[in-house]
């Protein structure tokens, strides 16, 4: 089979397409014919060496979705031909930038009929992170006022839709060119993150303060979050390479009883639970993963450059 691999750490030029043997699934693995694999910033961290993969050469890609072609002897609940999605690979197992991926069955769920496998392949990390942040950690409730920084990003655009589906009032930030699309995805208010009066705009839109905040750049916005928070606000920070974060000595956090959670999707106790919920939302039409650009395996280097350097709404995806 063809697979993208890096044999040493470095820039995007270390990525190459190799012809290698198709893997055989181990006892608790599902072999997936990959239709789509998201391109995530975390994929680049393993490539350049700030995160260490379990071996070299390595196949990157935290996400994958497609069709089951074989199962290990200890696998139950899956058969050949099933449409599935997976996440949490590409760290301690070979990833999804390949024609086939052998994936532990505790990171795979069946897709309901009608869910596009390419979009599902792009959904994993982004949608599961959004679910874990808003539902599991922030315990988002009907009627909550929810601020989502970076609504056009992979996690952000999924979070906007999840928050809207939960019945929250959704406030998000993004470049003006994305505001109409974010409104279509469920945002009640979209503001340019560069405006000088952003805090005032958020406070006005939330009638004095927000109840939940999802932040992907806390080293820049944590003090801002405190300033726009309502009493008891639940702030959830995501991001794989955060700088140091903190409040100023005169922080508005004093007296607001803010709850601050820093999370990583890799700490999810059972990935199948949020994955199943994401798949169900996609089947119901409440979550539509926006595919900004598709790349074949030969385009993986360009895709990893673009995911860090370009602005787009939604996700980039490899289609082997």
Q: Is the pLDDT of residue 255 over 80?
A: no
Q: Are residues 20 and 85 in the same domain?
A: yes
Phi-psi category of 43—alpha, beta or left, where left has phi over 0 and alpha has psi -120 to 50? alpha
Per residue in 155-209, pLDDT tens? 999 999 999 999 999 999 999 999 999 999 999 999 999 999 999 999 999 999 9
Q: 214 in a domain, yes or no?
A: yes
Same domain, 187 and 221: yes
Q: What is the CATH number of the domain that holds 177?
A: 3.40.50.720
Mean pLDDT of 287-296: 98
Q: Answer yes or no: is 117 within a domain.
A: no
Is pLDDT of 246 > 80? Answer: no
What's the domain range around 35? 2-110+290-318
The predicted structure's pLDDT at residue 219: 81
Whole-number average pLDDT of the chain: 95
Whether 83 and 145 map to the same domain: the answer is: no
- Whether 210 and 301 map to the same domain: the answer is no
Q: Is the peptide bond before 57 cis (omega within 30 degrees of 0)?
A: yes
Do 138 and 258 lie in a common domain?
yes
pLDDT number for residue 250: 46
Regarding whether 236 and 162 lie in a shared domain, the answer is yes
179 within a domain of the structure (yes/no): yes
Tell me the pLDDT band of 243, cut-offs 50, 70 and 90. low
Are 100 and 190 within one domain? no
Considering the domain architecture, whether residues 167 and 231 belong to the same structural domain is answered as yes
Question: What pLDDT was estimated at residue 18?
Answer: 98
* Residue 230 and residue 297 in one domain: no
DSSP 125-164: HHHHHHHIIIIIIS---TT-EEEESSTTSHHHHHHHHHHH
Tell me the CA distances in angstroms from 145 to 188, 197, 247, one per residue in order: 10, 19, 22
Are residues 295 and 256 both part of a single domain? no
Total tally of structural domains belonging to the chain: 2
Has residue 118 been placed in a domain? no
Residues 144 and 94 in one domain: no
Q: Are residues 204 and 102 in the same domain?
A: no
């Amino acid at each position: 089979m063809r697979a993208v691999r890096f044999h040493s750490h470095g820039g995007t030029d270390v990525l190459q397409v190799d012809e290698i043997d198709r893997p055989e699934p181990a006892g608790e693995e599902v072999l997936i014919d990959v239709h789509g694999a998201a391109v995530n910033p975390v994929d680049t961290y393993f490539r350049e060496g700030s995160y260490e993969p379990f071996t070299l050469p390595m196949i990157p890609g935290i996400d994958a979705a497609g069709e089951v072609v074989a199962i290990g002897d200890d696998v139950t609940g899956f058969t050949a031909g099933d449409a599935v999605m997976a996440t949490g690979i590409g760290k301690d197992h070979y990833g999804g930038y390949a024609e086939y991926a052998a994936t532990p069955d505790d990171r795979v769920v069946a897709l309901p009929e009608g869910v596009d496998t390419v979009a599902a392949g792009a959904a994993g990390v982004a949608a599961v992170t959004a679910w874990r942040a808003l539902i599991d950690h922030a315990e988002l409730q009907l009627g909550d006022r929810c601020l989502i920084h970076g609504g056009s990003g992979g996690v952000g655009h999924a979070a906007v839709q999840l928050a809207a589906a939960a019945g929250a009032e959704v406030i998000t930030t993004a470049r003006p060119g994305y505001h109409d699309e974010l409104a279509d995805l469920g945002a009640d208010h979209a503001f340019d993150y560069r405006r000088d009066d952003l805090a005032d705009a958020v406070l006005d839109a939330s009638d004095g303060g927000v109840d939940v905040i999802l932040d992907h750049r806390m080293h820049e916005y944590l003090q801002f979050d405190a300033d726009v928070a309502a009493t008891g606000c639940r702030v959830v920070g995501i991001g794989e390479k955060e700088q140091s974060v903190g409040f100023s000595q005169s922080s508005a956090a004093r007296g607001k009883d803010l709850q601050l959670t820093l999370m990583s999707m890799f700490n999810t106790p059972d990935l199948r639970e949020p994955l199943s919920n994401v798949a169900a939302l996609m089947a119901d039409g409440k979550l539509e993963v926006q595919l900004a650009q598709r790349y074949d395996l030969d385009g993986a280097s360009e895709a990893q450059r673009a995911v860090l350097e370009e602005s787009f709404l939604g996700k980039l995806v490899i289609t082997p």
